[in-house]
A and B are shown apart, each in its own frame.
Chain A
């Protein structure tokens, strides 16, 4: 399918919108009317057509605009992309994985041709046509991870595995929900999850780490995570908190439907073949409440979920001020009817 890429912004005038087609494929994260942390992982296999699970590396109508926003973030702050020196093999693994998936699933937009170690990569939406030597970083304009993640939607962390732990040793992070690669780089799995409330106590991270240490080649896994963001802003980083933090105070009962966005991360984890590292893809999807309630099931369910949240999660996700405003606004879309199981629209 040929995607029509939108021209839009994720800052200043915020012209980002979802098309009707894109609304229905949004990865709504709640499969029931309440929410609590769990090790909610499932095999990352192809799912429903016209859903974000159709392809394992999803490309959508926001691709070009997201890549432009990433370039702006990197221009202001090059430390959003970092790789420790021992991660070079994993960088090449990442480049190979993203090129192969994008080319295989979106052949009208991307092509990769290999002649031994001599590779040619064509990215039509971004007007790129480069030939390089796989394994030789000098033949690319950036290091391999930066090169390819400037051309792939989502944030990317590459974690090294050693001493029965996972280590955040490389990444491209510009569309994050308030965490910083520059701060976390070199930390292990338990260290970088330190701030998350409640989940440690119920053993979620011990189990998740054990699970990930045994992640197998050819069997990627995924989970959904969520938060809410005021305005469709991709770069909600601690570094730029002064730019987006005050936005929370601009939400009113009149503008909440347009301003407040559900922010969902489709996180997928892949064992990389050459390096034995794990690629952690954090793909961010945004949808305004106005767009979301066009799907009746989601309009009913979201206020119920927001009602049911424990105080720690409300605080951690930064929802304290605006949750009542959202619940009030959403109430008119909840007629009390039961909702069907699962995340997809009826």
Chain B
């Protein structure tokens, strides 16, 4: 049985933060309070783009203690699959959308004595909610935030004003300042946790540097949402639902299944949480595993696939769905 706990919301406010970033505020249509959430959580926003269902995950950036509404920030990605462009161009105050319950795959470790946050670009959003929580609970934290230019970077001024230059460090590509990861990861007090969110290359670099500096992996946290990559269309047969379908160039298997009325489980839609793990019945071709959930061993075995991001090349793929 699948229980629908999604919430219909009204767009209460749209704010232009920079020329590429917009902030959206959602309030519930039924007037009820939003569920509380924990810093680092995201929601999946469902959009009806002219009959096409789009579902994108966005980190919640409002105060976790404020249940009057949720706020997200969306970076406009011009050559993307269309979700961010839709949000930027079509969504206006008063419009209706649907948001999921909050899900946290990037929660702070509550045992941490100190928290170091490293953000690149739009990767700042989960940290904004986390910092609210740290500051409320009087927990030590510092943010290292890399932006392209002062005009393109979102929220850096507000964060500086709010938390002060001792806790907020801003680095600007244009001004040739970069995050001194090696210095930061050197000699931190016992019980420090480090969190990184941003472009894949940045995440890999920070984690690598920290591991080399001797950090235990339990103290390192990262969030990477993978947008489903594009690729050639392919055929899939959903065995349990008895559906033959084509997965389009800019579509994921999950999205194609949903378009065919198949109610498949999902949570992060970014290859991280494991909820959409699907058994492969037969595979006449090659699976392209794009997730970070399955182990290398599981990927090689070809018996499971994460349908939110992975693709297929070949004749036909049959799934237990």
Q: B102 — nearest CB in chain A belongs to which residue?
A: A217
Q: Which residues 92-127 of B have a CB within 8 angstroms of A?
A: 101-104, 107, 109-111
Q: Which of A43, A86, A210 contacts B1 (CB 8 A)?
A: A43
Binds A, one of B19-27, B35-43, B155-163, B250-258: B35-43
Query: Cβ of A162: which chain B residues have Cβ within 8 Å of it?
Result: 107, 109, 218
Query: Cβ of B38: which chain A residues have Cβ within 8 Å of it?
Result: 89, 273-276
CB B11 to nearest CB in A, in angstroms, measures: 22
B69 adjacent to chain A (CB < 8 Å): no
Assess A217 versus B35: contact at CB under 8 Å? Given A160-B110, A162-B109: yes
Binds A, one of B146-154, B228-236, B267-275: B267-275
Assess A86 versus B111: contact at CB under 8 Å? Given A214-B275, A218-B5, A273-B36: yes
Chain A residues with CB under 8 Å of chain B are: 42-43, 45, 86-87, 89, 160-163, 210, 213-214, 216-219, 273-276
Q: How far is the CA of A213 from the CA of B293 in the complex (A)?
A: 13
Q: Which of A43, A163, A217, A276 contacts B218 (CB 8 A)?
A: A163
User: By the criterion CB–CB under 8 Å, are A43 and B275 in contact?
Assistant: no
Q: How far is the CA of A160 from the CA of B108 in the complex (A)?
A: 11
Q: Counting chain B CB atoms within 10 Å of each CB, which of A87, A217, A219 scores highest?
A: A217
CB B101 to nearest CB in A, in angstroms, measures: 4
Q: Which of A42, A217, A274, A275 contacts B103 (CB 8 A)?
A: A217
User: By the criterion CB–CB under 8 Å, are A45 and B3 in contact?
Assistant: yes
User: By the criterion CB–CB under 8 Å, are A219 and B107 in contact?
Assistant: no
Q: A217-B35, A276-B107 are in contact. List 5 more A-B contacts (CB 8 A).
A: A214-B275, A216-B5, A216-B101, A219-B3, A276-B104
Query: Cβ of B1: which chain A residues have Cβ within 8 Å of it?
Result: 42-43
Q: How far is the CA of A213 from the CA of B134 in the complex (A)?
A: 24
CB B239 to nearest CB in A, in angstroms, measures: 21
Query: Cβ of A214: which chain B residues have Cβ within 8 Å of it?
Result: 267, 273-275
Query: Cβ of A43: which chain B residues have Cβ within 8 Å of it?
Result: 1, 3
- Scoring B residues 47 to 68 as 1 if CB is less than 8 Å from chain A, else 0, what string do you get? 0000000000000000011000
Query: Cβ of B275: which chain A residues have Cβ within 8 Å of it?
Result: 214
User: By the criterion CB–CB under 8 Å, are A89 and B110 in contact?
Assistant: yes
What are 9 of the A-B contact pairs (CB < 8 Å)? Answer: A86-B110, A163-B218, A214-B267, A216-B101, A216-B103, A217-B101, A274-B38, A275-B110, A276-B41
Q: Which 9 A-B pairs have the closest CB atoms?
A: A86-B110, A218-B5, A273-B36, A276-B38, A217-B101, A276-B107, A86-B111, A218-B101, A276-B104
Q: How far is the CA of A162 from the CA of B274 in the complex (A)?
A: 15
Query: Cβ of B111: which chain A residues have Cβ within 8 Å of it?
Result: 86
Q: A277 — nearest CB in chain B belongs to which residue?
A: B110
CB A273 to nearest CB in B, in angstroms, measures: 4
CB A92 to nearest CB in B, in angstroms, measures: 10
Query: Cβ of B104: which chain A residues have Cβ within 8 Å of it?
Result: 276
User: By the criterion CB–CB under 8 Å, are A274 and B64 in contact?
Assistant: yes
Q: Counting chain A CB atoms within 10 Å of each CB, which of B37, B38, B218, B274 scores highest?
A: B38
Query: Cβ of A213: which chain B residues have Cβ within 8 Å of it?
Result: 274
CB A76 to nearest CB in B, in angstroms, measures: 31
CB B26 to nearest CB in A, in angstroms, measures: 16
Query: Cβ of A276: which chain B residues have Cβ within 8 Å of it?
Result: 38, 40-41, 104, 107
User: By the criterion CB–CB under 8 Å, are A218 and B273 in contact?
Assistant: no
Q: How far is the CA of A86 from the CA of B134 in the complex (A)?
A: 13
User: By the criterion CB–CB under 8 Å, are A216 and B267 in contact?
Assistant: yes
CB A87 to nearest CB in B, in angstroms, measures: 7
Q: How far is the CA of A163 from the CA of B108 in the complex (A)?
A: 11
Query: Cβ of B41: which chain A residues have Cβ within 8 Å of it?
Result: 276
CB A296 to nearest CB in B, in angstroms, measures: 30
Q: How far is the CA of A276 from the CA of B39 in the complex (A)?
A: 9
Query: Cβ of B103: which chain A residues have Cβ within 8 Å of it?
Result: 216-217
User: By the criterion CB–CB under 8 Å, are B110 and A273 in contact?
Assistant: no
Q: Which residues 161-200 of B have a CB within 8 angstroms of A?
A: none
User: By the criterion CB–CB under 8 Å, are B36 and A219 in contact?
Assistant: no
CB A295 to nearest CB in B, in angstroms, measures: 27
Q: B106 — nearest CB in chain A belongs to which residue?
A: A276
Q: How far is the CA of A86 from the CA of B3 in the complex (A)?
A: 32
Query: Cβ of B107: which chain A residues have Cβ within 8 Å of it?
Result: 161-162, 276
CB B115 to nearest CB in A, in angstroms, measures: 12
Q: How far is the CA of A300 from the CA of B163 in the complex (A)?
A: 68
Q: How far is the CA of A163 from the CA of B101 in the complex (A)?
A: 22
CB A274 to nearest CB in B, in angstroms, measures: 5
Query: Cβ of A210: which chain B residues have Cβ within 8 Å of it?
Result: 274
User: By the criterion CB–CB under 8 Å, are B5 and A273 in contact?
Assistant: no
Q: Which residues 285-302 of B have a CB within 8 angstroms of A?
A: none
Query: Cβ of A274: which chain B residues have Cβ within 8 Å of it?
Result: 36-38, 64-65
CB A104 to nearest CB in B, in angstroms, measures: 13
User: By the criterion CB–CB under 8 Å, are B101 and A219 in contact?
Assistant: yes
Q: How far is the CA of A162 from the CA of B216 in the complex (A)?
A: 14
Q: Which of A86, A87, A273 contacts B102 (CB 8 A)?
A: A273
Query: Cβ of B274: which chain A residues have Cβ within 8 Å of it?
Result: 210, 213-214
Q: B268 — nearest CB in chain A belongs to which residue?
A: A214
Q: B112 — nearest CB in chain A belongs to which residue?
A: A86
CB B112 to nearest CB in A, in angstroms, measures: 8
Q: How far is the CA of A87 from the CA of B107 in the complex (A)?
A: 14
